């Protein structure tokens, strides 16, 4: 369950309490006895602990000594991770509520701490019959004179690089991240392409965004050969979902479009994946989920910006009618593609969506896709690979938002020479290169279907993790939602 972050006008003595301080000298007077101060000092100075827990029998007090990091991004990320650790301790004690006390007027650090605590509280228990280990934390209250409860951006001492650090916005975005993680963690036995689109319709009703779902007949009329081709081996029909937030006060006439890969399960098709590689392939729709939930958060926050999410969805299976290596598909924009590997299917459905995005005459298009294993091998699971065309300034802004939210981007080149690797003897393009630079050639393939400022994010590494990693948890991480939201907030400001 998502704990709600709120402000409190007073610090209650008998509540579980967290004190954030820049040094032990800043511990508030009247809270600790001399012996308690001595214990805290020993824990920090001799045992090198940044988090010190003290049991008052009827409640707990935690002291977090903020790391001395010159980088704002590193300091706030350390606070998020500390918040996650303390949240785990509170859950182990079956605590339902905690008050975070800002004694030094450090609202940014306090909010980041609360954000990490809330994000780390996520659990996916839908299919668990044993609910005994369900987290108990429900309320996170903040006592801080530096925070203003009125409008985001009015708080004192919030660094300009983190305008989205407002407790109301954090609650909205965390809710979006939780919903995104839920979708990613759902098994394919539930989350078919049709069910995914129905979930999008529910999200649209909740946030006020318009949602349109195109069925197979509509996709055939639009000649979306990539999406229809990948779907041929499935017994479930494909869908193409459009989510649109267009407020009357939007600062942009041309929309910013998020495109998300929505492969609800990827077996590899006729180029069947080996068993271990197929294990977590329910996560292959992480890009579509992130695109949708970014729009959801933007709409919930009523941000004055015109945004659209495009989400082609299907599973990729080796059914009787499945496409095979050597087949040639005609895409939505008329480009022909020779399929050399049916496991390079994500770019086929994205190509149709990127072509469709042209009708919006977009200001910018950003796609998110769990696209290549090459990206994971190159960068691992701590960042995503990014490429841009005609969007160098926007890419710098998005990279900055990546550092702000710790959803970081490593830029790869989009040089023309890489396009030679995907030329086909029989068609306009082939869907996979020779093996080298696999992440880049995938990006070059997608570029062929764009004529606007374009950013491609290969999130194959950080979208889903097998081992718990602080507040990112285990399983679907919701990578991209927080970054895109921060990016939009900064563009508005």
**Structure tokens belonging to residue 493:** 């400001």
Quote the DSSP letter at residue 28: P
Beta bridge partners of 117: none
Please confirm, yes or no, whether 347 is among the known catalytic residues: yes
Query: Which residue matches tokens 């959803």?
Result: 407
Q: CA–CA distance from 395 to each of 407, 412, 480, 485 (Å)?
A: 14, 12, 14, 15
**Structure tokens belonging to residue 473:** 């948890």
Angle (nearest 5°) at CA 51 between 50 and 53? 145
Say if residues 304 and 386 touch (Cβ distance below 8 Å). no
Say if residues 314 and 262 touch (Cβ distance below 8 Å). yes
Q: Is the dihedral of CA 224, 227, 233, 236 positive or negative?
A: negative
Angle (nearest 5°) at CA 335 between 331 and 337? 75
Separation of alpha carbons 108 and 114, rounded Å: 10
Q: Are strands 210-214 and 239-245 parallel, antiparallel or unpaired?
A: antiparallel
Contacts of 144 (CB under 8 A, 6+ apart): 7, 100, 101, 102, 105, 107, 110
Say if residues 358 and 424 touch (Cβ distance below 8 Å). no
Beta bridge partners of 265: 315
Give 358's Cβ-side CA count (13 Å radius). 13
Separation of alpha carbons 232 and 227, rounded Å: 9
CA end-to-end span of the chain: 32
Flag residues of the chain having pLDDT under 70.
Answer: 10-14, 148-165
Separation of alpha carbons 95 and 406, rounded Å: 28
The structure's pTM equals 0.95
Give 135's Cβ-side CA count (13 Å radius). 23
The H-or-E segment that residue 277 falls in is helix 275-278
Separation of alpha carbons 106 and 486, rounded Å: 20
Separation of alpha carbons 454 and 446, rounded Å: 10
Contacts of 377 (CB under 8 A, 6+ apart): none
Separation of alpha carbons 432 and 73, rounded Å: 37
Give 10's Cβ-side CA count (13 Å radius). 3
Q: Which of 138, 223, 246, 273 is catalytic?
A: 273
Q: What was the pLDDT predicted at 150?
A: 46
Separation of alpha carbons 436 and 433, rounded Å: 7
Torsion angle, alpha carbons of 352, 374, 486, 70, to 10? -160
Taken in order of first residue, the domains within the chain and their CATH numbers are 4-150 (3.40.220.10), 173-492 (3.40.630.10)
Separation of alpha carbons 484 and 151, rounded Å: 21
Q: Which of 347, 381, 444, 472 is catalytic?
A: 347
Please confirm, yes or no, whether 273 is among the known catalytic residues: yes
Q: What was the pLDDT predicted at 10?
A: 66
3-state class of 338 per DSSP? strand
Residue length, the chain? 493
């Amino acid at each position: 369950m998502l704990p709600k972050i709120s402000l409190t006008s007073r610090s209650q003595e008998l509540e579980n309490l967290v004190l954030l301080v820049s040094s032990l000298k800043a511990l508030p007077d009247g809270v600790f006895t001399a012996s308690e101060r001595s214990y805290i000092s020993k824990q920090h100075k001799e045992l090198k602990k940044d988090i010190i827990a003290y049991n008052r029998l009827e409640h707990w007090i935690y002291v977090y000594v903020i790391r001395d990091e010159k980088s704002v991004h590193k300091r706030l990320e350390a606070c998020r991770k500390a918040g996650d650790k303390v949240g785990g301790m509170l859950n182990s004690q079956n605590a339902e509520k905690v008050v975070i006390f800002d004694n030094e007027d450090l609202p940014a650090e306090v909010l980041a701490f609360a954000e990490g605590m809330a994000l780390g509280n996520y659990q996916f228990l839908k299919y668990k019959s044993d609910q005994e280990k369900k987290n108990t934390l429900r309320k996170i209250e903040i006592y801080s004179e530096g925070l203003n409860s009125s409008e985001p951006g009015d708080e004192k001492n919030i660094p300009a690089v983190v305008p989205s650090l407002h407790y109301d916005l954090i609650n909205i975005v965390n809710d979006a991240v939780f919903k995104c993680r839920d979708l990613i963690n759902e098994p394919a036995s539930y989350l078919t392409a049709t069910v995914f689109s129905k979930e999008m319709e529910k999200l649209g009703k909740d946030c006020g965004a318009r949602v349109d779902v195109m069925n197979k007949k509509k996709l055939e009329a639009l000649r979306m050969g990539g999406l229809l081709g990948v779907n041929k081996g499935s017994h479930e029909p494909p869908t193409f979902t459009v989510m649109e937030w267009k407020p009357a006060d939007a600062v942009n006439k041309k929309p910013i479009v998020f495109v998300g890969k929505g492969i609800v399960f990827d077996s590899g098709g006729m180029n069947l994946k080996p068993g271990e590689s197929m294990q977590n392939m329910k996560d292959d729709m992480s890009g579509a989920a992130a695109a949708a939930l970014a729009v959801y958060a933007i709409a919930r926050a009523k941000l004055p910006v015109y945004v659209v999410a495009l989400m082609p969805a299907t599973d990729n299976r080796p059914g009787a009618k499945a496409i095979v290596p050597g087949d040639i598909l005609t895409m939505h924009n008329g480009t022909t593609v020779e399929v050399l590997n049916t496991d390079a299917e994500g770019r086929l459905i994205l190509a149709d969506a990127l072509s469709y995005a042209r009708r919006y005459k977009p200001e910018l298009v950003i796609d998110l896709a769990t696209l290549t294993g090459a990206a994971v091998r190159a960068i691992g699971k701590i960042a995503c690979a990014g490429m841009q065309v005609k969007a160098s300034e926007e890419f710098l802004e998005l990279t900055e938002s990546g550092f702000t939210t710790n959803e970081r981007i490593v830029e790869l080149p989009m040089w023309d020479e890489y396009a030679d690797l995907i030329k086909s003897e029989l068609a306009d393009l082939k869907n996979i290169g020779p093996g080298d630079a696999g992440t880049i050639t995938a990006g070059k393939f997608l570029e062929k279907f764009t004529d606007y400022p374009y950013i491609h994010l290969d999130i194959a590494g950080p979208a889903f993790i097998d081992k718990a990693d602080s507040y990112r948890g285990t399983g679907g991480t919701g990578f991209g939602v927080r970054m895109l939201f921060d990016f939009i907030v900064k563009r508005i400001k």
